[in-house]
Structure formats: C-alpha cells, structure tokens
C-alpha cells in the first residue's frame, strides 16, 4: 500500500510557494526596466510587438508569451509589460525552488519552510538572476525550466521513498513537459537533463513496478505535444519588419533556424578549436560564482551541499552532476553571455544547498535531542540573512539601472538626426533599440536602420567601413578603415553618432568662432554630454576651421581644471596640415572626469600648440590667452559609493546625517616610482575641510564638498605613517600594501592589480578589475607590452570574453588574464592598459595624470 500524502502538508508547501511568488513579483516590480533596451532585448521587444521571430533558435514559446504580454491591456508601456513578464517568470522560478526544497523533506518541522528561503533569497538577489528578472530577455525562462526539471526529480525521489507510484507518474510527466518545452526554448537545457533524466527514470522504475509501458508511452506522447510550439515559425514565416531572418516555409530554412546551425561551431569551442585555452576558461569559474553569490554565502551553500550529500545522497549527486555538466558546457561555449548561459546552473546550485539545510532542520523529531536541528536552523537563518545583506549591497545598482534611459535616448537621437528617408548603419547593440522605437512607437518610420553583420573572414572594421559608404549616419567609427575609403565623419551633437560621407563633409551653417588661435586655427564648436558624475565620461564634440595654412605638429587640446588651476584631464586633437583654408572639421573625444572633481558648475578649456624639437610652443587667441574657457557644463554628485579595498564604515552609502564627513575607505596607488597617491573616500552632508599629515611631507589640506559621496586625493612620497584629520578628529590610516595598485579609469572601472606572469606559450598579464558603477557599456581591454625592442598587443572582452562589462554592477570583481602566445618573454618588461568602448571605439582614459606626466607604464 502507498502512504497518502497528508493534505495539510501539501497545502503548506503550496501556500509557501504562492507566498514566495507574490513577494518576489512585488520585489522585482520595484526595479523593472520599463523602456527600450539594446541588443537581444531590443530585438525581443520588436518580436513581441510585431509577432515575428527573433534570432536562432527562434524561441517560439517565449515569443508567444511575450506577444501576449506586450499587447495585454495593462499600463501604457509594452516595454514595461515585457519586463513584468520576466519578473513573473522569475517569481515563478523562486516559488518552484521553495516548493522543491520543502518537498524534499518530511515536513516534520516548520523550520523547513525557512530552509526553502535559502535558495529563494540567495538566487533572487544574485546579480545575473536579478538582472534577467527585471529586463526583457529569454534567459529567465531557462531558469524556470531548470527549476521545474529539478522539482520533478525531487517529487519522483520523494514518491520512491513514499512508495507512491501514481505521484511518481505525475512527477515524471512534469519532468517530460519541462524537458520538452525547455529544450525547445533553448537547447542548452538538454545538458542538465542528461544527468537528471536517468536519475528520474531510475527512481520512477523502482516506484512503478507494474504498467510501466502504458504510463511511459502516455508521457512520451505528452512530451511530443510540447513540440507543437514550433509551428509558430512556419505560421509567422517572413513576418513584416526588420526580423525577416529566413524562409521558415521550407524544411532546410526551418531546421537551420530552429537548430541554430549557424552557432553550431561555438559549442565546445574551447574543447575542440582552442583546447589550449580550456584551463584558462575553467579558471574563471570562481569569478563567475562570486558575481552571483558572496564568498560567505558560497561557504554556507557548500555546507548545505555537504548536508544534502549526507542526507539525500542520490538526489544531491544528480543535482550536483547537472550543475557541473551545465557549467562545463557553458565554459567551453564561445559566447559573451557565459554568466547568463549559466543561469540554470546557478538555480540548481542554490536548490541543492536548500535541500541539504531542509534535511538537517527536518532530521530530528521534537523531543529526541533536537539540538542538531536547531543548529541547522541557525545555519539556515544565517544563510538567509547573508543573502539579504548581499541583496542590500546590490540594490542601489539595480535601482540605478531601472532608471537608466541611455539606450532609449541614444536611439531616439540617432533616428531624429537622420535625414528624410535616410539610412543608418549600426552594430547589433544599437540597431535593435532603433527598430523597437520604429515598430512600437512609430518613431521615424521613413529611416532605414541596417545591422552591419559580420561577413565571413573579412575584418569587421573593413566590413563596416565598406557598408558605411552608402549610409547617412553610423554608430561606430573605425578610423583606419574609414580613412582608407576616404570617409569623413561629423558627430551629431556630442553623441556617439556620426554623419558620414566622402571627404570633405559640407560645412555646418551654424558654426561660429569661439576662439581663433594664432589667427589661423578657429574653434567653431564645443558641445558636451555623457556621464556627468565623478569618475564618469565627458563626451566633447570639438569643431575647428582652418583660417590659414596649418603647420605640422599643431594640435588643439581640450582640458578640465581644478579650481586652483591644476590640470585634471586633457585630450589632444591633432590637426591636419593639409586641411585647406575654410575647410571645417570636427572630432568627438572622451574626457575622464577625476573622482575628486567637485559637483556643480564646471568649465571646458581649449588651447592650441605646436610640437617642435625643442618642446611645445603655445598658440594664443586674440586676447592673448593660452587656454580660454569656451563652454560650461554641470557635474552631478555621485549616486553610489566608490569601490575600496578597506571599507571603513559599516554602511557604504552616500546619504549621511548632519555633522562631519564619514570615512568610507582608503586606497593607495604605488605605480609611479617614488610616489604614492592616497584615495580617501568620504560621505559628507555639508562642505568641510580635511587634512592628511605624514612623516614624509608637510600637512596636505583638501576641501570636501557636501554633496554625498566624494573622494579626496593626496599625492606624497611612499610612507606607512599617515594621520587623517576628519571633523577635528585625528584618525590613523592603515599602511599601504607592498606594490598596492588603485588606478581609476573613466566610466567607473578601477584597476586593482596588474602583474606579468611567465607562461610556456609566452608572457601573460593578469589584471584585477573592480567596477564602481552598474555598467551599460561594452568595454574592451587593450594590453600592450614593450621591452627588448619588441611590441605586442592583446585586445579582448574581459575574462577571455566570458564576462562583458555590460554584465557588471557596482562592486563586481574579476581577474582578467591576457595571454600573448608566441611572444618572447623579453617583451614583458613594461606595459600599458587601455580601455575603449566597443561600439563607439572611444577610449576611456586613466583618471590619473601622473602616469602621463612621468611617462610611467601602468605595470612592469
């Protein structure tokens, strides 16, 4: 006979799961991104609104759900409804985790419900899951199907222990449906099923001893029915709009798209094509894990897994095998979404910890020496509290991302800047939000937005430049490739969008003289935009015109200055001596805003000079000035605290009460020989003065603005003895670590370490990065080595392409290794690190002018 499952226990489990669903939906509703999004998200917004098919494998189930959500009569924004769909899917995933955790135990203790919160809260506030839960994407559905597969396995295992074949039948049917719909949604879900499936089938066979064939055939039929969702592709064949990918009416066209044959070479790429990189790819796993879960929570998860292996060995081994298999496939797959592809693994990883803690809290009956159960309960409570603290740290990033409208603003400005019936050439990231605005809101339907897709082995810069010859606007400029085709560009305002055409471009009618240097070089335009916060990027469009013969070595220079006149940042703009009199040109440049720049009104200074053998000769304007101030702009205060090695305050926040400044942390950079730069991070509600005394220099004073978070910078000789005077109180600062590095780059990136390592194939440069901001840029890292008369360069997405900066939030840390294959070890004598935006190709400068002044490399 079978033991009936008590109805009150089932009701408790379902009630807890529903409560989790409702709480999670409300939680994610506070940080929904309800606007146009870029890249794949923008494409999915188009597909949902036009009921068309996105890129391979087509995602028919998601497209159906998204189309219903986009057109559902609720609210004014289809973008917000699509983000809400992701939030509801995420909430359902967390509800399934709660149900799975409780179902794995006997429910002899109410504390089991608390154990369910360990995977729920831990996964809910993990960086990637939170990001997918609040934006338009297909990844969140992979987490739900992985959770449903795991729930089915838990229920089958429970049915085996209860000797309940009918319940096992229903659980196996759930597994089959989750597998069929899951693999139909994304083929990567097949890999965890290769481990979970045999375990589920084996447990079912041990439970169902009679009538197996009939039941199994019914389940197979049910799984086959899940394939009906693929009929959407031929039914929506050649849908109108920009997503006319292929002819789905033919079998080859349908299979090519549904099986994503174009991406087939990416699976197991680092196992078959570049096996020499396999160990390097596997080595990024710790960074992937710490992007999701804090080290403390990972430790508690590990304890939970040990308890699971002890109490539910077979189930735990199946889940662990699924996690490892999926992670291995993900790490050997060549794609920049590695951290998102691993979402099913993060889901199962959290669940396994919860199952172990549930078994421990449920393992001893009341009155039978319950101390072990309460020890496990305290461990469970600690895990939930740690996860909540992790979520509290990440919340400001997701609050900021929810309000970010940079993709929307750039897409609108680009469309509005196009001429009537114009043509815009863009990369995928910029093309899709423009398509969304055109299809959903009807913005500039006369403009043709074309995606510049890669074409075979031809370098992408060459492909883009060739196709740009027929465009009116471009969103990327490859200087060398454009120059080879004699294409000139002119930025639209101070945005990373350019008019393009044969050189020379027509002169702008509204140009006026702001300054004329040496009577020959006129500055005719100066506009600014960008991330106008300390540590951000100031985009400046500078226009000039030749009024006479320009000479070799002449250049304009655009500068930021501190109130006392010190140089804060500058970019030189060389002028072409072949520029004809009367010919106008322009250039878009990126200035880095120093972290210690005070919020409030600021000015832009422009100068000109001629580089000669004896040095630099300044060119003065008509008033005899070297650097006249030609434009004004306003710096906003920082919204997030800076990153630091040494947090000095329990709460890293910019909002403080009245009184003196609060020390948030201190960092040092010892990269310039014989010098030390101290970064003192503060939060202040009102202006104040602070001082730094040491045993090697006279006391240094700095004024601190009262605008939230700020950083005071002190330059002094290296020392271990420093005292900071803060609100009249002396505070002994910690000594720097030997060789400590802290090099901020514009855009919120901080280089925390840079080391050259000797490898058999050649030198390798190991960089350690930390992000101060949630990132919306796709940034590439360029490492250059010099020494022994040799030069080597390596450019790439961080962590061998696995962790694009678009996935980073404030506080993200990772190790980024650049290997120079075949390069002699002598080339590793010294090196530079440069960051640049992968889309605009604009650099993100180092925010420390000492390196340029001293001619010092960033690492040796």
Quote the pLDDT of residue 74: 87
pLDDT digits (tens, 9 = 90+) for 727-759: 888 999 999 999 999 999 999 999 999 998 877
**Boundary (domain end) residue, out of 347, 371, 401:** 401
**Boundary (domain end) residue, out of 635, 651, 686:** 635
Instruction: Judge if 200 and 93 occupy the same domain.
Output: yes
Instruction: Judge if 535 and 587 occupy the same domain.
Output: yes
Question: Domain holding 582: CATH number?
Answer: 2.70.50.60
pLDDT confidence band for 568 (50 / 70 / 90): very high
- Secondary structure, 3-state, 71-107: CCCCCCCHHHHHHHHHHHHHHHHHHHHHHHHHHCCCC
Instruction: Judge if 677 and 775 occupy the same domain.
Output: no
Quote the pLDDT of residue 325: 98
| 16 close to 116: Cβ distance less than 8 angstroms | yes
pLDDT confidence band for 463 (50 / 70 / 90): very high
Among the residue ranges 112-116, 195-199, 713-717, the one predicted with the least confidence is 112-116
**Is 612 inside a domain boundary?**
yes
Instruction: Judge if 324 and 344 occupy the same domain.
Output: yes
pLDDT confidence band for 5 (50 / 70 / 90): low
Using the 8-state DSSP alphabet, how is residue 179 labeled?
Answer: H
Query: Using CA atoms, how far apart are residues 673 and 678, in angstroms rounded to an integer?
Result: 14
Residue 365 has pLDDT above 60, yes or no: no
Give the DSSP H or E segment for 354.
Answer: helix 343-361
pLDDT digits (tens, 9 = 90+) for 25-82: 999 999 999 999 999 999 999 999 999 999 999 999 999 999 999 999 988 899 999 9
Quote the pLDDT of residue 72: 95
Quote the pLDDT of residue 647: 92
Instruction: Judge if 596 and 667 occupy the same domain.
Output: no
Quote the pLDDT of residue 235: 85
Instruction: Judge if 720 and 764 occupy the same domain.
Output: no
Q: Long-range contacts: 251-259, Cβ < 8 Å, 24+?
A: 256/56, 257/53, 257/56, 257/57, 257/58, 257/233, 258/56, 258/57, 258/58, 258/230, 258/233, 259/56, 259/57, 259/187
Q: Quick one: which of 792, 789, 732, 807 has its CA closest to 762?
A: 792
| 752 close to 679: Cβ distance less than 8 angstroms | no
Query: Using CA atoms, how far apart are residues 638 and 490, in angstroms rounded to an integer?
Result: 31
CA angle 673, 674, 676 (to 5 degrees): 95
CA dihedral angle for residue 229, residue 232, residue 234, residue 238, rounded to 10 degrees: -150
Q: At what angle do helices 295-311 and 285-292 cross, to 10 degrees?
A: 100
Which residues have C-beta within 8 Å of that of residue 181, sequence separation ≥ 6? Answer: 61, 145, 226, 229
Indicate if the alpha-carbon torsion angle 588, 770, 332, 57 is positive or negative.
Answer: negative
Helix, strand or coil, per DSSP, at residue 325 = helix
Quote the pLDDT of residue 6: 60
Residue 851 has pLDDT above 70, yes or no: yes
Instruction: Judge if 687 and 796 occupy the same domain.
Output: no
Q: Quick one: which of 391, 300, 317 has its CA closest to 354?
A: 300
Report the DSSP pairing between strands 537-546 and 584-592: antiparallel
Q: Is 480 exposed, middle or buried (0-12, 13-18, 19+ CB in 10 A)?
A: exposed
pLDDT confidence band for 370 (50 / 70 / 90): very low
Quote the pLDDT of residue 1: 42
Q: Would you tell me how many other CB atoms lie within 10 Å of the CB of residue 556?
A: 22
**Is 657 inside a domain boundary?**
no
Q: Quick one: which of 435, 395, 394 has its CA closest to 415?
A: 435
| 496 close to 454: Cβ distance less than 8 angstroms | no
- Secondary structure, 3-state, 397-444: HHHHHHHCCHHHHHHHHHHHHCCCCCEEEECHHHHHHHHHHHHHHCCC
Query: Using CA atoms, how far apart are residues 824 and 758, in angstroms rounded to an integer?
Result: 10
Domain range for 692 is 662-732
| 319 close to 193: Cβ distance less than 8 angstroms | no
pTM for the whole structure: 0.94
| 175 close to 153: Cβ distance less than 8 angstroms | yes
Residue 2 has pLDDT above 70, yes or no: no
How many domains does the chain divide into? 4
Q: Quick one: which of 653, 81, 128 has its CA closest to 340?
A: 128
For the residues 345-355, what does the mean pLDDT come to?
A: 98
Question: Domain holding 723: CATH number?
Answer: 2.60.40.3230
pLDDT digits (tens, 9 = 90+) for 754-774: 998 877 777 889 999 999 999
Query: Using CA atoms, how far apart are residues 290 and 287, in angstroms rounded to an integer?
Result: 5
Q: Quick one: which of 394, 287, 532 has its CA closest to 811?
A: 394
pLDDT digits (tens, 9 = 90+) for 607-626: 999 998 888 999 999 999 99
* Coarse DSSP helix, strand, coil percentages of the chain, rounded to the nearest 5 percent: 40, 25, 35
Share of the chain above pLDDT 70, in %: 96
Question: Domain holding 822: CATH number?
Answer: 2.60.40
Instruction: Judge if 688 and 627 occupy the same domain.
Output: no
Q: Would you tell me how many other CB atoms lie within 10 Å of the CB of residue 546?
A: 20
**Is 574 inside a domain boundary?**
yes
Query: Using CA atoms, how far apart are residues 319 and 296, in angstroms rounded to an integer?
Result: 22
Instruction: Judge if 112 and 27 occupy the same domain.
Output: yes
**Is 298 inside a domain boundary?**
yes
Written as six digits, the tokens of 199 are 């375990």
Instruction: Judge if 678 and 705 occupy the same domain.
Output: yes
Residue with tokens 């294409």: 487
Beta partners for residue 634, in sequence order: 601
Which residues have C-beta within 8 Å of that of residue 453, sequence separation ≥ 6? Answer: 428
Q: Is 534 exposed, middle or buried (0-12, 13-18, 19+ CB in 10 A)?
A: buried
**Is 437 inside a domain boundary?**
no
Written as six digits, the tokens of 479 are 């200087």
Written as six digits, the tokens of 82 are 């699509």
Residue 259 has pLDDT above 90, yes or no: no
Q: Quick one: which of 812, 772, 560, 814 has its CA closest to 679?
A: 772
Q: Would you tell me how many other CB atoms lie within 10 Å of the CB of residue 729?
A: 8
Q: Provide the greatest CA pair distance for the chain.
A: 102
For the residues 131-155, what does the mean pLDDT come to?
A: 98
**Is 461 inside a domain boundary?**
no
Quote the pLDDT of residue 824: 58
Written as six digits, the tokens of 639 are 């919204």
Quote the pLDDT of residue 118: 98
More confident residue, 504 or 606: 606
How far, in whole angstroms, is CA 150 from its chain's centroid?
A: 28
Which residues have C-beta within 8 Å of that of residue 407, sequence separation ≥ 6? Answer: 35, 36, 37, 38, 42, 433, 776
Instruction: Judge if 217 and 337 occupy the same domain.
Output: yes
Q: Quick one: which of 191, 239, 198 has its CA closest to 49?
A: 239
| 821 close to 830: Cβ distance less than 8 angstroms | no
Residue with tokens 């030609």: 630
**Is 183 inside a domain boundary?**
yes
Beta strands across the sheet bearing 676-684: 662-669, 676-684, 708-716
Residue 188 has phi, psi (to 5 degrees) of: -65, -20
Report the DSSP pairing between strands 600-612 and 423-426: unpaired
Q: Quick one: which of 194, 337, 358 has its CA closest to 266?
A: 337
Among the residue ranges 437-446, 550-559, 783-792, the one predicted with the least confidence is 783-792
Instruction: Judge if 719 and 777 occupy the same domain.
Output: no
**Is 462 inside a domain boundary?**
no
Indicate if the alpha-carbon torsion angle 196, 199, 203, 205 is positive or negative.
Answer: positive
**Boundary (domain end) residue, out of 675, 703, 732:** 732
């Amino acid at each position: 006979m079978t033991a009936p499952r008590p109805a009150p226990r089932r009701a408790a489990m379902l009630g807890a799961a529903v409560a989790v669903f409702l709480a999670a939906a409300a939680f994610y509703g506070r940080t929904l991104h309800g606007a146009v999004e870029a890249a794949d998200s923008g494409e999915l917004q188009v597909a949902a609104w036009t009921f068309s098919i996105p890129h391979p494998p087509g995602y028919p189930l998601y497209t159906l759900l998204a189309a219903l959500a986009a057109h559902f009569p609720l609210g004014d924004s289809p973008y917000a409804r699509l983000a809400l769909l992701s939030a509801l899917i995420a909430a359902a995933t967390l509800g399934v985790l709660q149900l799975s955790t409780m179902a794995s135990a006997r429910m002899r203790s109410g504390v089991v419900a608390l154990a369910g919160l360990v995977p729920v809260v831990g996964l809910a506030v993990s960086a990637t899951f939170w990001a997918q839960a609040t934006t338009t994407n297909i990844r969140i559905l992979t987490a739900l199907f992985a959770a449903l597969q795991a729930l089915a396995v838990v229920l089958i295992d429970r049915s085996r222990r209860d000797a309940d074949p009918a319940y096992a039948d229903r659980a196996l049917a759930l597994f089959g449906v989750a597998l069929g719909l899951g693999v139909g949604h994304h083929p990567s879900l097949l890999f965890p099923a290769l481990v979970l499936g045999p375990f589920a089938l084996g447990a079912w066979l041990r439970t169902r001893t009679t009538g197996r064939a009939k039941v199994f055939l019914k389940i197979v039929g049910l799984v086959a029915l899940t394939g009906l969702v693929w009929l959407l592709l031929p039914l929506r064949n050649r849908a109108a709009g920009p997503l006319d990918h292929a002819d789905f009416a033919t079998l080859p066209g349908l299979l090519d798209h549904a099986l994503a044959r174009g991406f087939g070479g990416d699976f197991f790429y680092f196992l078959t094509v570049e096996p020499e990189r396999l160990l390097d790819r596997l080595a990024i796993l710790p960074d992937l894990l710490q992007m999701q879960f804090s080290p403390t929570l990972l430790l508690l998860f590990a304890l939970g897994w040990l308890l699971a292996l002890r109490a539910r060995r077979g189930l735990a081994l199946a889940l662990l095998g699924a996690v490892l298999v999926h992670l291995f496939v993900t790490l050997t797959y060549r794609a920049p979404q590695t951290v998102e592809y691993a979402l099913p693994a993060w889901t199962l990883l959290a669940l396994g910890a919860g199952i172990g803690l549930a078994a421990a809290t449920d393992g001893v009956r009341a009155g039978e020496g319950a101390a072990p159960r309460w020890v496990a309960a305290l461990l469970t409570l600690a895990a939930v509290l740690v996860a909540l603290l992790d979520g509290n740290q990440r919340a400001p990033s997701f609050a900021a991302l929810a309000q970010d409208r940079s993709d929307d603003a750039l897409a609108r400005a680009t469309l509005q800047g196009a001429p009537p019936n114009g043509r815009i050439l863009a990369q995928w990231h910029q093309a899709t939000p423009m398509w969304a605005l055109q299809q959903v809101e009807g913005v500039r339907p006369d403009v043709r937005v074309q995606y510049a897709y890669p074409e075979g082995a031809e370098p992408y810069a060459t492909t883009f430049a060739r196709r740009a010859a027929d465009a009116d606007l471009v969103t990327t400029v490859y200087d060398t490739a454009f120059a080879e085709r004699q294409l000139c560009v002119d930025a639209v305002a101070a945005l990373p969008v350019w008019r393009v055409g044969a050189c020379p471009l027509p002169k702008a009618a509204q140009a006026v003289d702001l300054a004329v240097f040496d009577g020959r070089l006129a500055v005719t335009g100066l506009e600014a935009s960008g991330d106008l916060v300390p540590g951000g990027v100031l985009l400046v469009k500078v226009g000039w015109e030749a009024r006479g013969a320009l000479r070799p070595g002449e250049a304009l220079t655009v500068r930021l200055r501190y109130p006392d006149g010190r140089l804060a940042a500058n970019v030189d703009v060389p002028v072409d001596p072949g520029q004809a009199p009367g010919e106008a040109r322009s250039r878009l440049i990126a200035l880095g805003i120093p972290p210690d720049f005070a919020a409030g009104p600021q000015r832009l200074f422009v100068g000109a000079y001629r580089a000669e053998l004896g040095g630099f000769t300044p060119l003065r304007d008509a008033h005899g000035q070297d650097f006249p101030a030609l434009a004004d702009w306003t710096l906003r205060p920082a919204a997030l605290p800076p990153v630091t090695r040494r947090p000095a305050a329990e709460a890293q926040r910019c909002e403080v009460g009245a009184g003196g400044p609060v020390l948030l942390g201190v960092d040092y950079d010892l990269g310039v020989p014989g010098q030390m730069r101290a970064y003192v991070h503060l939060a202040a509600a009102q202006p104040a003065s602070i001082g730094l005394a040491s045993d090697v220099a006279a006391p240094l004073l700095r004024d601190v603005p009262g605008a939230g978070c700020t950083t005071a910078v002190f330059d002094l000789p290296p020392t271990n003895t420093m005292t900071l005077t803060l609100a009249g109180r002396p505070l002994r600062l910690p000594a720097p670590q030997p060789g400590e590095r802290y090099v901020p780059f514009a855009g919120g990136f901080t280089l925390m370490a840079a080391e050259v390592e000797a490898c058999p194939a050649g030198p390798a440069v190991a960089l350690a990065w930390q992000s101060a901001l949630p990132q919306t840029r796709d940034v590439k890292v360029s490492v250059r080595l010099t020494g022994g008369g040799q030069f080597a360069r390596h450019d790439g997405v961080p962590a061998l392409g696995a962790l694009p900066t678009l996935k980073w939030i404030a506080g993200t840390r990772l190790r980024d290794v650049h290997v120079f294959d075949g390069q002699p070890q002598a080339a590793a004598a010294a090196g530079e690190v440069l960051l640049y935006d992968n889309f605009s190709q604009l650099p993100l400068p180092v925010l420390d002018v000492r390196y340029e002044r001293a001619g010092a490399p960033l690492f040796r």
